[in-house]
Structure 1
Amino acid sequence: MIMPMRILVVGASGLVGQHIVEVLREREHSATAVARTARAGVDHAVDAVTATEADWRDLVAGHDGVVFAAGADDRDIPRKPVYPLFHQGNVRPVVRLLTAARTAGATRAVVLGSYYTHFNRLHPDWDLAVTHPYIRSRVEQARAGREAAGPNLPVAVLELPFVFGRAANRLPNWSGPLDKWVRSRSPLLAPTGGSATTTARRVAETAVQALEDASGADIPVVEENMTWATMISRIATATGHPRPVRKLPTGVVRTALKITGLAHSLQGKQSGLVPSKLADLMLQNLFLDIETPRSIETTIHETFPPSP
């Protein structure tokens, strides 16, 4: 029998954070919701970037564990140099939170990360953490977070691919432009390659299971592997605008990304995923091993509902 836990969830108003709070309560655990902005369902409004270790210690007191479901996204394109900003958003808050959690006597933690760290381990020859500042921040997040937590506070890192789903008015932050595109009359084009995918609900279930198990593992989360063409086709069909997806030539992808990188440079900006090297990732099948594949078709329709 699993004893009820009291868990502090940072980033609780986000897509995955809301699902984690929901699953915790479904399993008769207690969830304290922390988010940057005060709103219904948020117990404490705290900016994770500026919160000190002392701030976290006061909040963590009396909790069995913590979840970090916040952080800086790889789609942000700030002014360079970019790594300090990703370190500030992804590494520093986790170190402070887990240091406070260790001091307060917490016994379990979950950090939501990226499946790029999985591929960084699997293919060290790809030099992902060296090449891409965002991936470097995620690798450092896991390493520094576990170091801060120490041996008595196991930290599970969930390595997330494309996450589909909906939570109230929250949708995946990458879904907006894609939704607009597939509903337009523009032709649908896709390069070779593809990605693992999952749902916010599955991420939440995995996170809560890791908390119950007091797991300290790296956990890639996946339900379906899809080529880019398949993903775009299924999204277009879900919206009620099905049409063929044509192949986008590899040379065009590489050239377009190089031009994008040049434009960023001229604007004094820098991407967390270096455009000139991003094609090397995009054109791969970034698939994860699946013990029990599960269709995410229902969640695709939830994320991209049909036009009225």
Structure 2
Amino acid sequence: MSAAQRVLVVGGTGLIGSTVAAELARRGYDVAVAGRHRPEEGSPAAAFAWVEGDYTRPGWADRLAGVDVIVFAAAQDIRHVGPHASAETWQDVQTASLPAFFAEAREAGVRRAVLVGSYYHQVLPDLVAANAYVRARADAEAGVLALATEDFVVCAVNPPNVVGVAPGRALHAFAKMVRWARGAMADRVPDCAPHGGTNYMSVHAVAAAVAGAVEHGESGRAYLIGDENLSFQGYFQALFDAAGAERTVAVCDDDHAFLPDDFLVAGKGVTLSYEPDATEQELLGYHRGDIADTLRAMVAAVDALPPRA
């Protein structure tokens, strides 16, 4: 790898994108981040050159000139668009926009590209027909990977639920969960979690996998990555433990304030678990087993915030 290789992380102002940017910079790449809004002052993304741009709008040729590698971590999901978005909305922000953007990158001379996608369609293929969001993700990925040529190496990395938080608004939002764990919201949020569960992975492990895909990913491949299978109860209990709360999380049927039914893409009560392929893990070079440590670091970041007025 030449230290002169230029990487543009699209969506680089978000949690995954900014962590990927930091990992690639650590490995010697010349990194810039792209997004619709300038990074928050003091955020990890603010350390990199910033390129303004919206991936859903064409006209990236000048901004992609001289870029060797694209990492795309910007695609919108139900957290941004909402759980009840129309099929037309998903067409706009996923199925049509992503292949069009990657086609522009190929035409601009970008040689390698990694799409950071989502895991649902690989773990539960039946959701492709049943869920418009999952279908859009799967179709967008297929359209992107179909652009692969001898001169344009493109692959996808599909993580599960990502554990981590960036400074700024996201950290203040996570602080509410820490206050809940410590009993400050007992009158509003009970000590319980929904039925079901999923796979969880730290953002730093995701970043390592994406960097591994930049360096070793096979063109046309979609890599399902992951770490620890936990029930939602187990995940919330790990948060309680990280916050020093000596209480036990129960399981309940009610719509949960921090994990509403509408955001359970696989369905209420579904446990979505799997083991990532060991050979692919070795190829991409990512670690496992750091969920508890990541939660403790997140709680410590909350505790370091200035006192609220």
Same fold (TM over 0.5): yes
Map 1:1-308; keep pairs closer than 5 Å: 2-4=1-3, 5-39=5-39, 40=46, 41-49=48-56, 51-52=57-58, 55-76=59-80, 78=82, 82-120=86-124, 124=125, 127-150=126-149, 152-169=151-168, 171=170, 175=174, 178-179=177-178, 181-183=180-182, 184-185=185-186, 186-216=189-219, 217-248=221-252, 252=253, 278-279=267-268, 282-289=269-276, 291=278, 293-305=288-300
Structure 1 residues 240 and 33: alpha-carbon distance in aligned structure 2, compared to 1, 3 A threshold: same
1:303 Cα deviation from its structure 2 partner: 2.5
The percent identity for this pair of structures is 25
**Kept after mapping to 2: 8 A contact 1:108/1:215:** no
Structure 2 unaligned spans of 5+: 40-45, 279-286, 305-309
**Kept after mapping to 2: 8 A contact 1:198/1:224:** yes
The number of aligned residues is 279
Q: Which fold has the larger relative contact order, with Cα–Cα distance below 8 Å and residues 6 or more apart in sequence?
A: 1
Which moves more between the two structures, 129-138 or 39-48? 39-48
Post-superposition Cα deviations, 1:243-285, rounded to whole Å, max 9, x if no partner, equal 112233xxx46x99xxx99xxxxxxxxx6867xx712xx4224
1:67 Cα deviation from its structure 2 partner: 1.0
SS of residue matched to 2:79: coil
2:281 aligns with none
1:278 aligned partner, one-letter code: G
**Kept after mapping to 1: 8 A contact 2:157/2:213:** no
Which moves more between the two structures, 236-245 or 72-81? 72-81
Whole-angstrom distance in 1 between the partners of 2:199 and 2:161: 7
**Kept after mapping to 2: 8 A contact 1:196/1:287:** yes
1:267 aligns with none
Whole-angstrom distance in 1 between the partners of 2:139 and 2:175: 29
Whole-angstrom distance in 1 between the partners of 2:138 and 2:179: 33
1:264 aligns with none
SS of residue matched to 2:267: helix
Q: TM-score, with normalisation over the residues of structure 1?
A: 0.79
What RMSD over aligned residues (CA atoms) do the two structures have, in Å? 3.0
1:96 Cα deviation from its structure 2 partner: 2.1
Whole-angstrom distance in 2 between the partners of 1:233 and 1:24: 33
Post-superposition Cα deviations, 1:217-251, rounded to whole Å, max 9, x if no partner, equal 21222222212221110101222323112233xxx
Which moves more between the two structures, 139-148 or 161-170? 161-170
1:141 Cα deviation from its structure 2 partner: 1.3
2:198 aligned partner, one-letter code: S
**Kept after mapping to 1: 8 A contact 2:128/2:135:** yes
1:268 aligns with none
Structure 1 residues 272 and 163: alpha-carbon distance in aligned structure 2, compared to 1, 3 A threshold: closer
Structure 1 unaligned spans of 5+: 262-270
Whole-angstrom distance in 1 between the partners of 2:152 and 2:238: 41
1:24 aligned partner, one-letter code: L
1:90 aligned partner, one-letter code: Q
1:116 aligned partner, one-letter code: Y
1:148 Cα deviation from its structure 2 partner: 3.6
SS of residue matched to 1:105: coil
Q: TM-score, with normalisation over the residues of structure 2?
A: 0.79
Structure 1 residues 175 and 283: alpha-carbon distance in aligned structure 2, compared to 1, 3 A threshold: farther
